[in-house]
Amino acid sequence: MYQTINFSDFCDAFRSHGRENQFSYEALSVLFDFFEAFEDDTGEQIELDVIAICCEFSEDSFVEIAENYDIDLTDCDDTEEKISTVEEYLNDNTYIAGETGAGTFVYQQF
């Protein structure tokens, strides 16, 4: 049995599981849109599993990602090139759900 939820319900589910600080509000919006697009593209319904989402996805800055995945940014000339290098690395190894206005990536961890 599946229940259709809206963005508010999605956020409430994170709160009710004690995961309200796992992602920023904007990152939750990115994830919600990502899962809705996935359902539309595949025709598959997704079960809302907050704990699985928290285990599978992360929201990090390009600096945090570079540190976590040992991405060498020493040859990059500026911040834009560093961000581009990290984004390319993520695209090669996983998928990016989206970016926030604060400059963080929301991506599937690997």
- In the sheet where 105-108 sits, what is the strand order? 57-60, 105-108, 96-99
> Model pTM?
0.92
Asked if pLDDT for residue 1 goes beyond 70, the answer is: no
- pLDDT, tens digit (0-9, with 9 covering 90-100), for 3-32: 889 999 999 999 999 999 999 999 999 999
Q: Which long-range contacts (CB under 8 A, 24 or more apart) does 9-17 make?
A: 10/48, 13/48, 13/50, 14/50, 17/50, 17/51
| Contact criterion met (CB below 8 Å) for 45 and 39 | yes
Does the pLDDT at position 81 exceed 70? yes
Query: What are the domain boundaries of the chain?
Result: 7-108
The pLDDT value given to residue 28: 98
